Amino acid sequence: MSSNLFIEEYSNIISILNTDIQKLKNKSVLITGANGLIGSYIVDFLQYLNNTQDMNIKIYAMSRSAEKLLKRFGQNSNLNIVEQDLNEPIKQEVPCDYIIHAASNAHPRAFSQDPVGTMKTNLLGTMNLLEIAVKNNAKFLYISSGEIYGNNIDHNFTEADLGIVDTKISRSCYPESKRAAETLCMAYNSQYGIEVNVARLCYVYGGTITDTNSRADAQFLRNAVNSEDIVMKSEGLQRRTYCYVADAVSAILTILLRGKSPEVYNVANPNSIVSVREYAQTLADISGVQLKFELPDTIEAKGYSKPADSILDSSKLTILDWHAIYDIRQGLDRTYKIKKENLVLC
């Protein structure tokens, strides 16, 4: 049974989507990266709709490990577990009306240790899924990243900004392949006429983040949950736009159901623009631990981007009648409680 905390979040998402949520009734939805921070939350929410709203949504949860998917979600009649390495040809027929492509290496250690695999998933994986979209005439939503803007812009990033990424370093495996994948979406829209949207996410956080994630905020959270001092590996003065996972999911579904093809939308909470240091200090205050500083090791440093402000302008998304609900303290408080109490989603 879901806790009241999750029921409240799901109710808020339903309120934001309003009558558009009926577009999901009796439809089939494929979610890739279903074990990840965002994908798993989407699967949880769709299952909640089936359990409480009689939506009869056929959910296809795709990941490389069926075992992990079954452990995470269990089994029910409307949930289909799809084990698939997206770098390989799709092994199973997946009839779907909507595709949400949220699978990607998305943390520094993965960029450092497997830059080739990172690019393959973003390029080959996206192409394989776009072929499914063509076959099913499905709407395709690609989960991209604010990292595609690079660090060369001195203002808040809008969807009109092109950005520049240094192609001469392996760390660019992530933003550069994300950029190319966006172009693939536009190419398939132009050539085959499928509906596509791109959601460029800021720094999304929440209780569904995996324990293997090496992002700084994930490390902060593990420290806090274990009642250990939070350790920062820089001064953390760069400012970022953060977004709690429930708000990010409501934004993603808003784009899926209301977005005009082939538009691109930034996903960010304008009320959660803080420095990395402020983020860490807020979490430390919530958990009752101290904030300390250390330098990164060589491998970790190789996977980090250069310090710079990264603030996404989400004005275009608000035109679709979306708004964020949880500010940084509210979001971190919920995140900490979920991880600390090991709450079970359904």
Asked if residue 108 belongs to a domain, the reply is yes
What are the φ and ψ backbone dihedral angles of 139, each rounded to 5 degrees?
-80, 135
Check pLDDT > 70 for residue 309: yes
Asked which of 126-130, 143-147, 149-153, 295-299 is least confident by mean pLDDT, the reply is 295-299
A 10 A CB-CB count for 65 gives: 13
The one-letter code for the residue type at 283 is: L
Task: Report pLDDT digits (tens) over 108-140.
Answer: 777 778 899 899 999 999 999 999 999 999 999
Q: What is the C-alpha separation between 152 and 186, in angstroms, rounded?
A: 24
Maximal CA-CA distance, the chain: 55
Q: Which domain holds residue 92?
A: 4-205+244-271+311-328
Helix (H, G, I), strand (E, B) or coil at 210: coil
Task: Report pLDDT digits (tens) over 259-298.
Answer: 999 999 999 999 999 999 999 999 999 999 999 988 666 6
Tell me what pLDDT residue 22 has.
98
- Judge if pTM exceeds 0.85: yes
**Cβ contacts of 258 within 8 Å, gap of 6 or more:** 20, 320, 321
Q: What is the C-alpha separation between 131 and 143, in angstroms, rounded?
A: 17
Asked if residue 333 belongs to a domain, the reply is no
Asked if residue 294 belongs to a domain, the reply is no
Helix (H, G, I), strand (E, B) or coil at 143: strand
The per-residue b/e assignment along 118-131, b for 16 or more CB within 10 angstroms, e otherwise, is bbbbbbbbbebbbe
What is the rounded average pLDDT for all residues in the chain? Answer: 91
- Count of CA atoms in the C-beta half-sphere (13 A) of 215: 17
Strand-strand pairing, 79-83 and 58-63:
parallel
Tell me what pLDDT residue 2 has.
43
Report how many domains make up the chain: 1
Check pLDDT > 70 for residue 346: no
**Which residue(s) pair with 203 in the sheet?**
242
Asked if residue 56 belongs to a domain, the reply is yes
Asked if residue 134 belongs to a domain, the reply is yes
Asked which of 12-16, 107-111, 172-176, 276-280 is least confident by mean pLDDT, the reply is 107-111
Asked which of 182-191, 215-224, 254-263, 270-279 is least confident by mean pLDDT, the reply is 215-224
At 146, which CATH number? Answer: 3.40.50.720
Q: What is the C-alpha separation between 69 and 185, in angstroms, rounded?
A: 27
